[in-house]
Amino acid sequence: MIKLVVFDLDGVITETSEQHFIAWKTLADSKNIVIDREFNESLKGVSRYDSIVKILKYGNVLDDYSKEEVKKLMKIKNDNYVKLISKFNEDNINGGVEDLFIYFKKNNIKIAIGSASRNAPFLIKNMKLDVYIDYIVNPLNLDGKPSPDIFLDAANHFGISPTECIGIEDAISGIKAINTAGMISIGIGDKKILKDADYVYDSIGEIDYKVLEEMVK
């Protein structure tokens, strides 16, 4: 029986990947590193620090930057990203998300956010979704996806066994994290890309309630 559902944020609840891309691209351009949308796919679900390391490696300049300088670049990117998402509100919630939240609440199932983003609490509040959320994982001191830590932290918080949890993700790294955690994985996106997920739907609004019904029994 399912007792907890852990939702990823970007690509599941809302679409911030364009804003992440613009902020990373602006930073990369300033260092003469050319990144495109295809490269951006490899940044989805990846932490801020791991993302900047990937970008600098991609430009073959990682060794040119001290730890302090890397930190400064992370701050520049984040300041720009925060500006880009500052107007996010209820209109930015993906279709079907609130219905799912209401369905899980009705069935006494806890709802947690398992995002790599340190900006998750801000977005959840601005989209007025905090009324549904029982717990937001703080990813700061946890290993990033594909490590299972973010998902396991949510299960541990409630003392619920991972086998009684569902994780919902749009990134390959996130599906890996959910599967390693021992939870049921639901992928949102391309079936070919998310082939390791237990279930995959094109969008969150297309999740099959009949399948959920079997799990919550």
Asked if 8 is an active-site residue, the reply is yes
> Does the footprint of ligand G16 cover residue 14 (CB under 6 A)?
no
Q: What is the torsional sign of CA 81, 50, 140, 76?
A: negative
Is 47 labelled a binding residue?
yes
Is 173 labelled a binding residue?
no
Q: Which is nearer to ligand G16, 3 or 20 (CB)?
A: 20
> Does the footprint of ligand G16 cover residue 48 (CB under 6 A)?
yes
Q: Are the beta carbons of 81 and 119 closer than 8 angstroms?
A: yes
CA angle 153, 104, 199 (to 5 degrees): 75
Q: What is the torsional sign of CA 51, 93, 126, 107?
A: negative
Residue sitting closest to Mg ion (CB): 11
Site for ligand G16 in 128-187 (CB under 6 A): 171
Q: Is 45 exposed, middle or buried (0-12, 13-18, 19+ CB in 10 A)?
A: buried
Q: x-or-dash pattern for ligand G16, window 62-101, by CB under 6 A?
A: ----------------x-----------------------
Is 37 labelled a binding residue?
no
Q: Which is nearer to Mg ion, 65 or 135 (CB)?
A: 135
Asked if 153 is an active-site residue, the reply is no
> Does the footprint of Mg ion cover residue 177 (CB under 5 A)?
no
> Does the footprint of ligand G16 cover residue 117 (CB under 6 A)?
yes
Task: Give the whole-angstrom CA distance, residue 101 versus residue 110.
Answer: 9
Q: Which of 73, 60, 83 is nearest to 27 (CA)?
A: 73
Task: Give the whole-angstrom CA distance, residue 215 versus residue 165.
Answer: 10
Q: Which is nearer to ligand G16, 139 or 162 (CB)?
A: 139
Binding site for ligand G16 (CB under 6 A): 8-11, 20, 43-48, 51, 78, 115-119, 171
